[in-house]
């Protein structure tokens, strides 16, 4: 069961939201790499777009160190996702 207190803290903090998005992206990319179906690849690409938006929003509202971490992790996930394109 989700702790609503934790969820509300994350929802109100753009840096945490960006890091949460990166974590979800990581899971989505991992699934797509393990099972490269069209649906999972599309889901990973949608997650990438959402994560990029979350990181952009965090720029103006968040701790620069946390934003830098989110950007670094985002870059790693983009590289992993690009492996799917090279498999085609």
Structure tokens at 42: 């599309």
pTM score = 0.82
Domain that holds residue 46: 4-87
Short-list 87, 78, 17, 18, CA closest to 44: 78
14/75 Cα distance (integer angstroms): 18
pLDDT digits (tens, 9 = 90+) for 11-61: 568 889 999 999 999 999 999 999 999 999 999 999 999 999 999 999 888
Question: Would you say residue 5 has pLDDT above 60?
Answer: no
**Residue 11 has what pLDDT?**
53
């Amino acid at each position: 069961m989700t702790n609503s207190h934790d969820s509300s803290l994350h929802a109100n903090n753009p840096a945490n939201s960006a890091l949460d998005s990166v974590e979800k992206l990581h899971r989505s990319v991992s699934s797509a790499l393990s099972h490269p179906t069209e649906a999972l690849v599309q889901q990973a690409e949608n997650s990438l777009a959402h994560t990029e938006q979350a990181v952009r929003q965090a720029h103006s509202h968040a701790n620069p160190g946390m934003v830098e971490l989110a950007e670094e992790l985002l870059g790693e996930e983009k590289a992993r996702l690009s492996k799917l394109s090279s498999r085609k």
